[in-house]
Amino acid sequence: MARKYFGTDGIRGRVGEHPIDAEFMLKLGWATGQVLGSGASTRVVIGKDTRISGYMFESALEAGLSASGVDIRLLGPMPTPAIAYLTRTLHACAGIVISASHNPHHDNGIKFFSAQGTKLPDEVEAAIEEELDRPMVTVSSERLGKAERMDDARGRYIEFCKSTIPSRISLGGLKVVIDCANGATYHVAPSVLVEMGADVVAINVEPDGLNINANCGSTNPGLLRERVLEEGADLGIALDGDGDRVIMVDHRGELVDGDELLFIIALSRQENNQLFGPVIGTLMTNLGMEHALQARNIAFERARVGDRYVMELLQKHEGVLGGESSGHIICLDRTSTGDGMVSALQVLATMVQKQVSLHELKQGMTKYPQLMINVPLARRIDIDGCEPVQSAVREVEARLNGKGRVLLRPSGTEPLIRVMVEGEDHALVDEQARYLAAVVEQAVGARIESA
């Protein structure tokens, strides 16, 4: 069913432009309360990242929920996965996250978690949209919801993160640089590592409401690489603005992306007899990871791009491990959603147990050259039905000669077409990706941007 507001990852857009405005958020809070506040629990938890607009939207959602008769627990700035965890442990009927993840400060959005700490089912999102079209009616004064700030949310989540690896494992002796993207993990992630014994250098931990994800974090790991080399650190960890993605850097300054991290965790799970079901990747997962897993008799399947689709396949196959190249990794045997810090800890635990470096751990997988180019959409276009583009796709596939992949897909969070070419020959991949992006650019009438 076509959605009016919800996309693949909640509701997202530019601040001040409908629906990312205070008036809509007031109504959204009310509609959420109408749909989710009628069960045994009538409590909703709200958390946010460090964007300045979070204050405005937090207040609006709080007012709307209260008007519907639902109580509110305000968590303040907290990582998205922390809100999923606290929704479960506080037995709330839902969790709301105010965040636009890895996007810049001028964007914001709303994500929802069910009482189980998972993304809301499609039918619940549809029910909320139906309520949004109805007049807002406030309950009587004696039934208004009450709001309460939760002071120990940070400590609860820190302890949870630590509990996801064996208590006997210490990070003593490891020097770690962590980049918190001036986002929601700034007051959490460094503390987790320090309490586990690591020597920690924390960067981008001074959010001002505007600098979230600005030339830092998992989407911009350049500064992290520099600091790892400068500090002589064993590794670096880069999280995104809301803490559900992680990218790492080894002691040589080499990037270790989500595919490589997923591979490392999968092998560790297999060696410890803890890997169940297939590993789930996406259409963007590097072909090298698929081949490396197959060589070790680990089943692998691809989902559509987006963590909700990874989760769907994990649940279908009763699997425990899946993720995306971007670093959104789901360890279902540890938590209910993608969690950058929890995923990083699984890798660190493997390093300690095997007494090897991150650089050594990633050697079991050889990545194929892959280039993705973003083409902004100046106008809506059906790529599948555009013959010049499809003709170019067939042409590129023929040149790859069965030794690579071509993928064109619209972004689920931004007005972009993503053009990806992957293959054994780096020069050929680069040439064909740029050729195909130019064809798409001409079709959509926009300027291209390298990813």
Any idea of the CA torsion for 114, 119, 123, 129, to the nearest 10 degrees? 90
Model pLDDT, residue 40: 62
Q: Which residues are known catalytic residues?
A: 101
The mean predicted confidence, pLDDT, of the chain is 94
Q: Which residues contact 378 (CB under 8 A, 6 or more apart)?
A: 444, 445, 446
Domains contained in the chain, number: 4
Residue 413 falls within a domain, yes or no? yes
Residue 160 falls within a domain, yes or no? no
- Which CATH number goes with the domain that contains 327? 3.40.120.10
List pLDDT tens digits, range 305-347.
888 899 999 999 999 999 999 999 999 999 999 999 999 999 9
**Residue 422, beta-bridge partner list:** 370, 405
- Taking 60 as the threshold, does the pLDDT of residue 449 lie above it? no
Residue 156 falls within a domain, yes or no? no
Burial 215-234 (b: 16+ CB within 10 A, else e): ebbbbbbebbbebbeeeebb
Confidence band (pLDDT; 50, 70, 90) for 450? Answer: very low
- Taking 90 as the threshold, does the pLDDT of residue 252 lie above it? yes
What's the 3-state SS for 262-277? HHHHHHHHHHCCCCCC
Say whether both 213 and 342 belong to one domain: no
The Cα 370–Cα 389 span in angstroms is 19
List pLDDT tens digits, range 365-420.
999 999 999 999 876 677 888 889 999 999 999 999 988 899 998 876 678 899 99
Say whether both 63 and 28 belong to one domain: yes
- Ordered strands of the 449-450 beta sheet: 404-410, 416-423, 370-376, 449-450
Helices (H), 119-188: 122-132, 153-163
Domain boundary (192, 224, 253) is at 253
Model pLDDT, residue 413: 65
Domain boundary (317, 338, 367) is at 367
Residue 4 falls within a domain, yes or no? no
Say whether both 240 and 268 belong to one domain: no
Strands 175-179 and 199-203: parallel
List pLDDT tens digits, range 37-84.
876 668 999 999 999 999 999 999 999 999 999 999 999 999 999 999
Say whether both 196 and 95 belong to one domain: no
Say whether both 385 and 416 belong to one domain: yes
- Which CATH number goes with the domain that contains 435? 3.30.310.50
Domain boundary (367, 384, 410) is at 367
Mean pLDDT of 283-305: 94
Say whether both 263 and 284 belong to one domain: yes
Residue 164 falls within a domain, yes or no? no
Say whether both 40 and 135 belong to one domain: yes
The Cα 199–Cα 177 span in angstroms is 9
Please state, in angstroms and as integers, the Cα–Cα distance from residue 67 to each residue in 23, 36, 147, 405, following that order: 14, 14, 11, 52
Say whether both 134 and 17 belong to one domain: yes
Say whether both 363 and 374 belong to one domain: no
pTM for the predicted model, two decimal places:
0.90
Q: Domain of residue 219: give its range.
A: 172-253
Residue 404 falls within a domain, yes or no? yes
Extract the tokens encoding 279: 């590993």
The Cα 166–Cα 71 span in angstroms is 36
The Cα 338–Cα 332 span in angstroms is 9
Strands 279-282 and 300-303: parallel
